[in-house]
Amino acid sequence: MYENYRKYDIESHIDKIGFEPLDIMVTGATGAGKSSTLNAFFDRIVSKVGNGADPETMELNSYNITSKMRFWDTPGLGDGILRDIEHAEKITGLLQKTHHDRFYFLDLALVIVEAGTRDIGTTIKIIDQVLKGNFPANRVLVALNQADFAMKGYHWDHIKCRPDAVLHNFLEEKISSLQRRIYESTGMKVCRPVCYSAKYRYNIDRLYDLIIDNMPTAPRSISEEQ
């Protein structure tokens, strides 16, 4: 379904940039829904979703939306000190990968946050300790998944598959709070996050818009100031 969403915009923009594919890293705390987000993008299972205590995404896997845009699924952080070190090393290795001795491999980072959580410590850690210094703020995008369970399932309209007015207002406040706390904790001014539900395909188009409307205008140069 979404493989063709704004396909012309994606491909024409990347043609103007003059490099392809556009590589986007999807990261976040374990349980935030990185794999389910990718499945919602493709409207089919491309990445296995974990239902138990252990995360499913242990390696780095890539998925192409078009020949000109590619997503990288990465291990989640927040599983303990030793696992976090192992996973952070894999992510850092991908962040530092280069091509043509001039450009970094990854162009954007999409950080997925669980909408219902009050503890964003792992998210802050990912942005401050893993992404900051590798990506400038305009290449870091943040999105809140699981909008349907943000208030423990209350105020979610299961017939329309969308939040009612109470939950909508709660989510808007959550978005503003997250954006502010990221800046206060890391100094990075990320653009306003969007909120969605991969499970119910709610606002997936807005998540796509976030990515498409913030595609970089040039490759991430090795000499680029962070």
Model pLDDT, residue 202: 96
Single pTM value for the model: 0.86
Q: How far apart are CA 116 and CA 96, in angstroms?
A: 32
DSSP string for the chain: -GGGTTHHHHHHHHHHHT--PEEEEEEEBTTS-HHHHHHHHHTS--SPPP-SSS-S--S-EEEEEETTEEEEE-PPB-S-HHHHHHHHHHHHHHHT-EETTTEES--EEEEEEETT-S--HHHHHIIIIIIBTTB-GGGEEEEEE-GGGTTTTTTEETTTTEE-HHHHHHHHHHHHHHHHHHHHHH---PPPPEE-BTTTTBTHHHHHHHHHTT--SS--BTT---
155 φ, ψ to 5°? 65, 20
Residue ranges and CATH numbers for the domains of the chain are 2-212 (3.40.50.300)
pLDDT in tens, the chain (226 residues): 566 677 788 888 888 887 788 899 999 988 899 889 988 887 765 554 443 333 334 456 777 777 788 898 887 777 666 676 777 777 778 888 887 677 888 899 999 999 999 889 989 999 998 899 888 999 999 999 999 999 999 999 999 999 999 999 999 999 999 999 999 999 999 999 999 999 999 999 999 999 989 999 888 887 654 4
Tokens 């590798």 belong to which residue? 134
